[in-house]
Amino acid sequence: MPTIVVYLILLTSITPPLGAFMYRVYTSERIGRLEGVIYRLIGVDPRAEQTWRRYASSVLWFSAISMLFTYLVMRLQGHLPLNPVGLAAPTQYVSFNTATSFVTNTNWQAYGGESTMSYLTQMIALTFQNFLSAAVGMAVLIAMIRGFIRNKTDALGNFWRDTVRGVVYILLPISIVVAVILMTQGVVQTFANSATVTGIQGFAQTIARGPVASQIAIKQLGTNGGGFFNVNSAHPFEGGTALANFLELLLILGIPAALTYTFGKMVGRIREGWVIFAAMMILFLGGLALTVPQEHSATQAMISAGVPATAQNLEGKELRYGTDQSSLWAVATTDASNGSVNSMHDSYKPFAMVAPMFNIAVGEVIWGGVGSGLYGMIFYVIIAVFIGGLMVGRTPEYLGKKIGARQMKLSAIAVLVPFLVALSLAGVAVVTPAGLDPRLNVGPHGFSEILYALLSMGNNNGSAFAGLTASGAFYGVVGGLEMLVVRFVPLLAALALGSSVAKEGSVPVTAGTLPTDKPLFVGLLDGVIVVIGALTFFPALALGAIVEGLMKGKLFG
């Protein structure tokens, strides 16, 4: 528990300085030498303003080319260098699913990293996309925020400038520093082949290694989560020491939390940013309060075997860190758009898994992904403001902008489309052999395996519940298409929303304006998120994790 308290204090402490730094990066008029070289290489004018349609077109073309490049690298892997083990190309289904996964910042992995991807693929395809997908998410958020501070214009900035700055000044420098620190903590970084050693039991063992630290730094900082190894951050070469594990945890939520401060600085109302931070923090604490105590007590199977009921549930946990850091990791990564795991979610007690599954289900707006989490939360803010406006009987307003039918429609589309896609595909999966056959378990737990996978891909998280073989055609193709839809529909809605409010003039604050910088609005915002999430996902959770918890260990044959 002390570790969790220290974590919360540090997360809150780094929010203002990191948020202020990112504010300066995105608002500075000066073009640095390195970014200037990049603009000349790609042939763009960084000072040219783009409408939301031009901005969106740039996002889509850039993402499409990135996806094609990533797919081709994987399919040609067997003919490319830096492949000391001689790994063959992944299947077309795994390649398609992985390409969509990394381009959409999901990092769902239907493969074992060290046994499927070469060093070159890990670096120029996957790690490279970790930088780009994160930068795109931040760029879209900044463009959306500009809509709230501009008047009578359709211009939202320049996609190329926003993306390049996100990589050059934020993601790359921090990742370099973190990678060096991780190497001092036992995270490997080498181009050498796998090592063969004799274990303590006297037989030979092959230990995979590679350029790991450089990938782990950005996988956490960019809320990506794709691991170099199959067991992800539970592998000692990814997590290293307890210090490295804690640092990675701080990286996961660092930028999403700090962007709330950046938001407040950009709109000229820092209290507005702290309100969103507080709303996220309260829901984050709620998830911890549900998960952590559950893992401090024994499972029904442990009790039946004679273990005291007060014993911790260490099954599937990383014993070097214990249940607290494992539970903190599970809640933090499912709050963020980060698919990394340092313990097996499949081994958590049923009620403990309700919080992580709910976190993913509501769209990962409790911190969320870099950029995407905050613009996802702003959609909920718009809905909360609209409801509040109806309560006081006047036209809803937010940050001096009227919230009308168009803004509400865009917010509803962004919030509900991922829900509809994930639940619809889960319904298809549980009635078709292609969806049912890959599961390991039957009954409620088997349903949870399917639901978790489609929620994870359906909200660009990428973490796995385990127990589901997702490398086949059904989950490879369907999951890949799902990731594309739920990434780009809200993204396009965010740009359209920014444009719609930018075209309007500002309205003055009056006595009838709903205050959105007060604790009361924090409660309203969290209430809207919880109610929408509960109404949408409680029936599905009741069929899986909740009913499994009420069964108290009863198994299905």
CA atoms within 13 A on the CB side of 348: 35
**Averaged pLDDT, 411-428:** 93
Assess contact for 431 and 403: CB atoms under 8 A.
Answer: no
Pairing state of beta strands 204-207 and 401-402? unpaired
Measure CA of the first residue to CA of the last residue in the chain; give whole Å. 38
Name residue, tokens 């001689």: 86
Tell me if residue 51 falls in helix, strand or coil.
Answer: strand
Q: What does the alpha-carbon distance between residue 258 and residue 14 come to, in Å, rounded to a whole number?
A: 7
Name residue, tokens 């929620």: 455
Q: What does the alpha-carbon distance between residue 281 and residue 87 come to, in Å, rounded to a whole number?
A: 44
**243-277 per-position pLDDT tens digit:** 898 999 999 999 999 999 999 999 999 999 999 99
**Averaged pLDDT, 194-211:** 85
Q: Which pLDDT belongs to residue 350? A: 79
**Averaged pLDDT, 292-304:** 80
3-state SS string over 470-531?
CCCHHHHHHHHHHHHHHHHHHHHHHHHHHHHHHCCCCCCCCCCCCCCCCHHHHHHHHHHHHH
pLDDT band at 240 (very low <50, low <70, confident <90, very high): confident
Q: Which pLDDT belongs to residue 341? A: 87
pLDDT band at 439 (very low <50, low <70, confident <90, very high): confident
pLDDT band at 104 (very low <50, low <70, confident <90, very high): very high
Q: What does the alpha-carbon distance between residue 279 and residue 367 come to, in Å, rounded to a whole number?
A: 10
Q: Which pLDDT belongs to residue 553? A: 57
Give the total residue count for the chain.
557
**300-309 per-position pLDDT tens digit:** 777 777 777 7
Range of lowest pLDDT (21-25, 333-337, 529-533, 537-541): 537-541
Does pLDDT of 466 surpass 50? Answer: yes
Q: What does the alpha-carbon distance between residue 373 and residue 363 come to, in Å, rounded to a whole number?
A: 8
Q: Which pLDDT belongs to residue 444? A: 83
**Averaged pLDDT, 213-239:** 90
**54-81 per-position pLDDT tens digit:** 999 999 999 999 999 999 999 999 999 9
- pLDDT, greater one: 521 or 356: 521
Assess contact for 91 and 471: CB atoms under 8 A.
Answer: yes
Phi-psi region of 555 (alpha: psi -120 to 50; beta: other; left: phi over 0): beta
Collect all residues with Cβ–Cβ distance below 8 Å to 339 and sequence separation of at least 6. 106, 107, 108, 109, 224, 225, 226, 232, 333, 456, 461, 462, 463, 464
Q: Mind giving me the DSSP string for 172-212? A: HHHHHHHHHHHHHTT--B--SPPEEEE-TTSSEEEE---B-
Collect all residues with Cβ–Cβ distance below 8 Å to 5 and sequence separation of at least 6. none
**Averaged pLDDT, 143-170:** 95
Tell me if residue 218 falls in helix, strand or coil.
Answer: helix
**Averaged pLDDT, 108-120:** 90
Assess contact for 462 and 227: CB atoms under 8 A.
Answer: no
The structural domains of the chain, with segments of one domain joined by +, span 2-268
Q: Which pLDDT belongs to residue 557? A: 47
Q: What does the alpha-carbon distance between residue 403 and residue 397 come to, in Å, rounded to a whole number?
A: 5
